[in-house]
Structure 1
Amino acid sequence: MGLDRIDRRILALLQDDGRMTNVDLAERVGLTAPPCLRRVRSLEQAGVIRGYHAECDAASLGYPITVFAMVSLRSQAEHDLATFERHVAEIPEVRECHMLNGEIDFILKIVAADLESFQRILTTHLTAAPNVASVKSSLTIRTAKSSPGVPIEAGAE
């Protein structure tokens, strides 16, 4: 899908504030409300906008611990990779799962209520999972930057 300057501006604004009203959005991009809404709907239908969500504070909701786990599998056959992906999709505390190239097959972002809870996730769900060769984990000390979405250049076409 070809994106013009207005589409990119719409995306940047919605990425910063997904609750912005269509009227406010239209005003900020220099359109009237109906064509702005058509553009947003078109971006949604094309899959450029995949959804809207609230960004919640994990610690406030009882998950002050964030851990990154690097998982190596015994086999990298497509079936085994897909099986692992389905397995971690069922673990609510696993918030992100990315397949990597190199020595590590997957990196997981995991939230936990405390270290004991993380250990339980690790031993019950990860190291015990079929085909898992090893799991190396790193506890997050602090987060210096967390920017959801992607950088959008408004001038690019």
Structure 2
Amino acid sequence: MRAAERCSSMTTLDAIDLRILTVMQSQGNLSNLKIAEYVGLSPSPCLQRVNRLRKAGYIRGVTAILNIAKIFPSIVVFAKINLAEQTVRQFTIFETAIQNIPEVLECSLMSGEFNYFLKVIARDLEHFNELTQTMMEMGIGIKSFSFFVEIRNVKRTPVVPIDSLYQGK
């Protein structure tokens, strides 16, 4: 089996893979040497594992988490959105359009009383109002909105608790 086939067929993770993923999600800027020390490998096999995890799609990228409040004032608004039609075509139109609105940080298709749940960042309420008007005028099938302005964030982390969630295969 060629290396590319092994990467694409990677279906199970061992304890070292999980330790690599755990350290990388919370400290993505570590050097390969530091990651290797953390997981108990020499640098070369560690780098091979990291590359294998990347190629297999377990690591989608590495990013910096910014302290937005230090850069500029902003508000975070959560939005519940209902579409006029509940069709695959309408969902596709909406989802494609949302991809092109950079202020929409997250968008999830939901079960229950509404179709989509969005997390939006804006400069202020006026800017948010402009965004909602733009979305309504885009013709992407929005029937109704409900908005909730974040007063204070209590917890926000990109770190997933791998140890308590992963049960192997």
Q: Using structure 2 for the length normalisation, give the TM-score.
A: 0.87
RMSD of equivalent CA atoms = 1.5
Q: For this pair of structures, how many residues does the alignment match?
A: 156
Q: Look up the match of 1:22.
A: 32
Q: Distance in 2 between matches of 1:78 and 1:39?
A: 39
Determine which structure has greater relative contact order: mean sequence separation of CA pairs < 8 Å that are 6+ residues apart, divided by chain length. 1
Which residue number in structure 2 is paired with residue 128 of structure 1? 137
Letter in 1 for 2:132: L
Deviations 1:31-58 (A, max 9, x none): 0000000110111011011111111122
Question: Structure 2 matches for 1:86-105, cutoff 5 A?
Answer: 86-105=96-115
**Mapping of 1:48-127 within 5 angstroms?**
48-125=58-135, 127=136
- Residue 162 of structure 2 is matched in structure 1 by 152
CA contact (8 A) 1:65 1:112 kept: yes
- Structure 2 partner of 1:47: 57
From 11, 19, 42, the equivalent of 1:9 is 19
Report deviation, 1:18.
0.3
In structure 1, give the amino acid aligned to 2:137. Answer: A
Following the alignment from structure 1 to structure 2, what is the Cα–Cα distance between the partners of residues 58 and 84?
28
For 2:138 and 2:86, the matched residues in 1 are separated by: 14
State the distance in 1 between where 2:96 and 2:73 align. 23
Cα deviation for residue 156 of structure 1 reads 5.0
The answer on whether the counterparts of 1:10 and 1:25 sit within 8 Å (CA) in structure 2 is: yes
Query: In structure 1, what is the Cα distance between the partners aligned to 2:159 and 2:87?
Result: 30
SS in 2 for 1:116: helix
Tell me the equivalent position of 2:46.
36
**The residue matched to 2:51 in structure 1 has which SS?**
helix
Runs of 4+ in 1 over 4 A off after TM superposition: 154-157
In structure 2, how many angstroms separate the alpha carbons of the residues matched to 1:24 and 1:105?
44
